[in-house]
Structure 1
Amino acid sequence: MRIKVLAMAMANLLVLSCQQEEFNVPVTDCFIDYGVRLVEITDGTHIVETSANTRSNVEGRELALQFPSESVYQAFLEQLKTMSHQERIELTDSLGIKSLQEIAKIADVELDSIGAEASSESDFRSKYNVYVEKYDGVLMANPYDALDLSLYVPDGENLSTYVINENKKVVIGNDIQEIKLLNDLSQKDKSLFLAATATAQDKTDFMGGQVETEHGKKTTYSVQLMQNICLNVHVGFQKKMWYGWKRDGARDAYYFLNVTSPFQYTYWLTPVGEGAPSIQQNIPRPDMYFFTCPGSVDYNSGYFLNNCRYVQGSLYVWTDQTAETDSVFCMAVKDNIYKRQKMRRCDRNKAYKLDFNLDYLY
């Protein structure tokens, strides 16, 4: 990738920062070329520039991303904040790195294959043990629930996990740095299987719940008030396997968000162009948010207004198993497209409901 003048990149970042302050929301209508390069680390100390086009022959090679300076590295991480989970993965993949977050996605698909191929519980256990050993030191098992079979990115909310691969290294200037990650799951990964204990009377920025059905399906849901003043809605799915649970990527997610405090609803418009990040768009309160087979949803659905320090309201959640079979027309955000469209009817009396009162703790 070509290297632009650092001053120009930082000037662009300043413009973005000013726009964020003016509109009180992230502005992501342009992406900065930071001069990031793919390099190979040899003998633990030497840095050799390489090309993303040669990644097919990476076995035994120690690859990393190189940033011109610490300030550019931090600016790059700030830019990742404005992007969705999938956009972050696609961006760093295009730069030549199969990040820890991408490795976790690959491992999840592999676990599905093991479950499909296993002929018995003992056969599954044998294959699963090999699987866990393969990702030892790269991904982590759930330390809180022995029945959770999925593997997770340690410290998964750390944005550097989208930048580093299994060697956990990044190059700043000519300095090779190893990123230290917490040996724990992110809060969002915990919410896949742990129901939050907070009540509407507690001072907290996170609340959630979970429901397990008799069909071997589990749904978790939560709301979290983020540092960038956005309200993030999480919906996660798991399914029962031979002797435990794993993420379920074959479920549809529906939710309705009703915030009673001063609040601006949003959705994230995906612009045309490879590598272009989503753009946050202000909208009236939608009748529904919908996501096709996401495995899990983490969606910034709006932000608080008037320097308010809290957000209160209710979240209603449905799945493809709980939505009605008949359809209605409504204003919906459907897979990041906002318009009047036909949706399966969702009865609020049958929803998984979460009443919340969140405080801005930052």
Structure 2
Amino acid sequence: MSFYTPGHGLITDTLIMHGLIRILAGNGVTLGTVRREGFRYVIEFNGTNLSKELDFLETLKRETELYLNFLEKSQNVKSDYENTSRKLRIAYKYLKKLDAANIDQNNLNHLLKKLNEKLASLDLETFKRLDHKDEAQEGRAKSKSLITLYLPLSFVYGKYYQKDRVLYDKFYLVCPNCFITSTLGLLFGTAVVNFREGDKKVVYLVTLAPTNEMRIVDVLLLQRLLEKKPIEINVEINVLASILYVLSLGETVYALKNTDFEAIAWKLVRSGNFQRAEKHETVNVGDLLGKIARIKLDFPEFPRFINECLLRDQDGAIILNELAFYLTFGGDKYSVMRRVARFVTEMFKKGRTACRYDISQLERGIS
């Protein structure tokens, strides 16, 4: 049997792929392959009569019900409504991650309402049809039966777009099945890192996907790294640094024999009433994973070094950005290491004991 992702773009199709893989795993299906075809994926497996009565779907349904009940009861209460609703969201397993990944509370509430309404009617037969996107007329459209694909489920944002020098005012809409599975892909197939300062929120989203073909069981191994709780950091970094940071936290991915996969990462920013999606990065991480593994062999404290030393202020963030660029694309190793060593020495002199690391170990790991 085969499932086909519909062709909503690399980010959304990757999320849908991860969502479908999670549903297959919930049904005990781990044998099969995921094949990349352009921006789409083909999932081939043996199995029929897939159940939707899965624990994680029931938990997600229950969490959204409890939260929406709170909203309904509190809509006329003026006392600190926004903070109270967020405290409730982050108390739940899945809503906590959706809250961290979202930069607009109004859109988040709409997303959770639609998720609650549509979960019970999930139809996996949709993904057996190669042309189901065209059949349902998904895309830039106006339809009451389709659902707006808000950030962070896509890289498409806003209702205004230009085609043939004409400006149109249509949101990007998808069917309920694409909406549900992309949300599941966000929960189980995406690492979420965020930074907050005043009315500014920055979200970094990192997912991993095969560039050619990968076994389903290996995609599930990637999900073990990606499905973790959202991470809060103290400074703003660039997208490459977020990839390095997420990969440095994982151990299971180093066991993969097939390293023909890439990181897909994107950044969302909200400041006041202004929000945007910044250009996404795709990085083949086979080589990068090998470098991180060698670094951790000589410098096991590498993730702690990033956390406790580099992610404490903006100067450290600059160093992390430079280190991520060097490890991804190469460059002058000695120049990078001089800046790392100088930063660590200066921080230690200022009494930052958390930066007391033997940087020669990092240098050995990089060489």
> Does the TM-score normalized on the shorter chain lie above 0.5?
no
Higher strand share: 1
TM range, smaller chain = under 0.3
Q: With structure 2 as the length reference, what TM-score do the two structures score?
A: 0.26
Higher helix share: 2
Higher relative contact order (CA 8 A, sep 6+): 2
